[in-house]
Amino acid sequence: MREQPSVVLSAAHTVAIRMSPFVRQMDFAIDWMAVEAGRALYRQEDQSDCTYIVLNGRLRSVIRKANGKKELVGEYGRGDLIGVVEALTRQPRATTVHAVRDTELVKLPEGTLNNIKRRYPQVVTRLIHLLGQKILGNLQQARGPFSGSALGRSSVASSPDVTNPASNLSTVAVLPICDEVPINAFNLELSHALSAIGPALLLTSDIIRERLGASALDSIHEYRLSGWLAQQEDINRIVLYQTDSSMTPWTQRCIRQADCILIVGLGEQEPALGQVGGTGCLAQGHID
């Protein structure tokens, strides 16, 4: 690309002229957006005028009740639709959705969605199928549709937008609790076990430098590294990020990329957190 930019421009022109007018129209109408970890995508009671599709990253949906308390409703990962029910029914946002990690999304405006429905009615059938699957999944998680806990749930918690938090994890950061943890052996075993559900990739700072160069983790190459990691998440079912033993730029990157953080310690030692382990976790493992 750098040596022969004319080749890239020629290829882009060839692709563009072969696209149908409808595809080009959709390309202009759809917006790509990035949401930093901790930022809100939208808030409860906001006007719903679009639907979002998660390209990569993770978001969490929370509802604020009348007494002021917040309750977790669900989580969204790659490929999930966010806010589609509210957009279709033109109702205000029922929950607040914020990014758990750095997230990339596609914003589909309401007018664009309506245009797609008019041109391709089969899209509506597909949406109904997807929403039906989520409703059935929620009923199965609620111990059956007639259980007391299921009947006591709010209408929002039973909405089709809810996602099983563990159903679409794609990235896991593995943090050793101390230097004595055989983290390399642990991650190799974990990667081998995860390969049973799909392609699994283990990444360390050494692997990154080997593949992308010695300066790959420098801030000047932030965009290049982010793009490469996104490609690996697209190719593999699970990506394991092995942190360094200290809070290095790579360790910070691992935490930012993680859907789930796994802290690993030694079974015979007291469960105390070290410098890196103190960042918090969603799950904890021990080696006997």
Mean pLDDT, the chain, as a whole number?
A: 79
pLDDT over 70 at 274, yes or no? no
- Better-scored residue on pLDDT, 3 or 150: 3
Task: Tell me, yes or no, whether 110 and 61 share the same domain.
Answer: yes
pTM: predicted TM-score of the whole model, two decimal places: 0.68
Model pLDDT, residue 287: 37
Task: Tell me, yes or no, whether 144 and 177 share the same domain.
Answer: no
Contacts (Cβ under 8 Å, ≥6 apart) of 240: 171, 172, 174, 187, 190, 191, 194, 200, 201, 202, 203
| Parallel/antiparallel/unpaired status of strands 31-35 and 59-64 | unpaired
Task: Tell me, yes or no, whether 101 and 188 share the same domain.
Answer: no
Pair 56, 103: CB distance under 8 Å: yes
Q: Transcribe 92-137 into DSSP letters.
A: --SSEEEESS-EEEEEEEHHHHHHHHHH-THHHHHHHHHHHHHHHH
pLDDT over 80 at 150, yes or no? no
Please tell me the distance from the alpha carbon of residue 256 to that of residue 217, in angstroms, as a whole number.
14
Strands (E), the chain: 31-35, 40-42, 50-56, 59-64, 70-76, 81-82, 96-99, 103-109, 171-176, 200-203, 238-242, 260-266, 283-287
Residue whose structure tokens are 């990157």: 253
Tell me whether residue 130 is in a domain: yes
Tell me whether residue 257 is in a domain: yes
Task: Tell me, yes or no, whether 144 and 112 share the same domain.
Answer: yes
- Better-scored residue on pLDDT, 174 or 21: 174
**Band of pLDDT at residue 151, cut at 50, 70 and 90:** very low
End of a domain among 151, 180, 203? Answer: 151
Average pLDDT score over residue span 1-13: 75
**Band of pLDDT at residue 155, cut at 50, 70 and 90:** very low
Model pLDDT, residue 18: 78
* Among the ranges given (67-76, 115-124, 159-168, 243-252), the one the predictor scored with the smallest mean pLDDT: 159-168
The DSSP call for residue 42 is: E
Packing angle, helices 21-29 and 110-119, rounded to 10: 160
Tell me whether residue 121 is in a domain: yes
Please tell me the distance from the alpha carbon of residue 161 to that of residue 139, in angstroms, as a whole number.
13
Pair 49, 110: CB distance under 8 Å: yes
Please tell me the distance from the alpha carbon of residue 56 to that of residue 77, in angstroms, as a whole number.
7
Task: Tell me, yes or no, whether 127 and 41 share the same domain.
Answer: yes
Model pLDDT, residue 152: 37
pLDDT per position as a tens digit, 61-113: 999 888 888 888 888 888 888 988 888 788 899 899 999 888 999 998 887 87
pLDDT over 80 at 258, yes or no? yes
Model pLDDT, residue 30: 82
Greatest mean pLDDT among 88-92, 132-136, 260-264, 269-273 lies in 260-264
Task: Tell me, yes or no, whether 175 and 281 share the same domain.
Answer: yes
Tell me whether residue 4 is in a domain: no
**What's the Rg (C-alpha) of the chain?**
22
Tell me whether residue 23 is in a domain: no
Average pLDDT score over residue span 8-25: 77
Task: Tell me, yes or no, whether 92 and 206 share the same domain.
Answer: no
78: CATH = 2.60.120.10
Tell me whether residue 195 is in a domain: yes
Contacts (Cβ under 8 Å, ≥6 apart) of 143: 149, 150
Strands (E), 148-267: 171-176, 200-203, 238-242, 260-266
Please tell me the distance from the alpha carbon of residue 159 to that of residue 69, in angstroms, as a whole number.
19
Model pLDDT, residue 75: 87
pLDDT over 90 at 174, yes or no? yes
Task: Tell me, yes or no, whether 132 and 221 share the same domain.
Answer: no
Share of the chain above pLDDT 70, in %: 81
Average pLDDT score over residue span 225-254: 90
Task: Tell me, yes or no, whether 190 and 111 share the same domain.
Answer: no
Average pLDDT score over residue span 112-121: 78
Q: Please give the residue range of the domain that contains residue 204.
A: 171-287
The DSSP call for residue 7 is: H
Sheet of 59-64: strand order equals 40-42, 96-99, 59-64, 70-76
**Band of pLDDT at residue 140, cut at 50, 70 and 90:** low
Average pLDDT score over residue span 246-259: 89
Under the phi-then-psi rule, with left for phi > 0, alpha for psi from -120 to 50, and beta for the rest, what region is 183? alpha
Please tell me the distance from the alpha carbon of residue 233 to that of residue 55, in angstroms, as a whole number.
10
Tell me whether residue 259 is in a domain: yes
- Please tell me the total count of domains within the chain: 2
Pair 68, 130: CB distance under 8 Å: no
